[in-house]
Amino acid sequence: MESDMIISMGKNHKKLIKDHFGNESILFNKLAYNKNTGILDLEEEYPSLKKMNKSEEKKQKEYEEWSEKVVDYIYRSTPRIAKEIMKN
């Protein structure tokens, strides 16, 4: 796999890219904010989601709101990412 830069959203993604493709990647938050943290997947934020049943469907709104916040965070961070990419 050939690339100039691989950006991973979470530490689990970073590990998967390294393990399966042998490539290093940089975390989104490291590039945007110089923080060595990942962005959690919905299932990481809400582990019970995998076992969601009818009684938990009311949490769907909470999951949707969380997802919208993550998308907004990524969107707001994109100019920082672009700036850092242009430096390289």
pLDDT digits (tens, 9 = 90+) for 37-82: 999 888 788 777 666 665 566 677 888 888 999 999 999 999 999 9
- Give me the pLDDT at residue 86, please: 86
- Give me the pLDDT at residue 55, please: 57
Work out the burial of residue 82: count CB atoms within 10 Å of its CB; fewer than 13 is exposed, 13-18 middle, 19 or more buried: exposed
Q: Using pLDDT thresholds of 50, 70 and 90, give the confidence band for residue 31.
A: very high
Whole-model pTM? Answer: 0.79
